[in-house]
Amino acid sequence: AEWILAWERLRKKYGHVRILITGGEPFIYPQFVELIHNLSQDFSIGFDTNLSCSKELLVDFAEKTKRSNISMGLSFHPQFAEYESFLEKALFLKEKGYQICVQYVSYPQQIQSMPLYRDKFKDNELYFIPLPFRGSYKGLNYPASFNQEDRKLIYNRRIKHEGIVEV
């Protein structure tokens, strides 16, 4: 309730506000759905999620929030997520009218799988964005340590007119 009042004061003072939520998986926070329900009535909201929450929670979310004001980056991590479950949830959100894109972090252990998953998401008409891994892995610093082939996979992308990103 305090957060909603604070944001309302900002809206009254500055007009339209876009709220970007960062810092971990938002669906695990208590009352997240209720918070977004209230904020999505008057604000544009963006956040990332790995869709590790239950389908039931997403159904509740879809019933309570103003879809036109919400955009989500869906972070797919094949070593931690089951593809079919992730895809089912992503398609559910898309069908409900949320602005979504699938984000794929090019972590060194999963970069070679990226073309396979890119094609699978593209086949389901989901917007796909490769994100360069930033950090250290096996003593190497990334993104500086990506080889030429990896760089081509990550950075050489063309956006097609139907909104699907091809790598």
Contact 137, 110 (CB under 8 A): no
Q: CB count, 10 Å around CB of 49?
A: 23
Average pLDDT, the chain: 90
Mind listing the pLDDT tens digit for each residue in 128-158?
A: 999 999 999 999 999 999 999 999 889 875 4
Give every CB contact of residue 71 below 8 A, 6+ residues apart in sequence.
44, 45, 46, 98, 99, 100
Q: How do residues 71-100 score in pLDDT, each as one tens digit?
A: 999 999 998 999 999 999 999 999 999 999
Does residue 167 surpass a pLDDT of 50?
A: no
Confidence of residue 127 (pLDDT cuts 50, 70, 90): very high
The predicted structure's pLDDT at residue 157: 56
Nearest alpha-carbon partner for 75 in 19, 40, 25, 123: 25
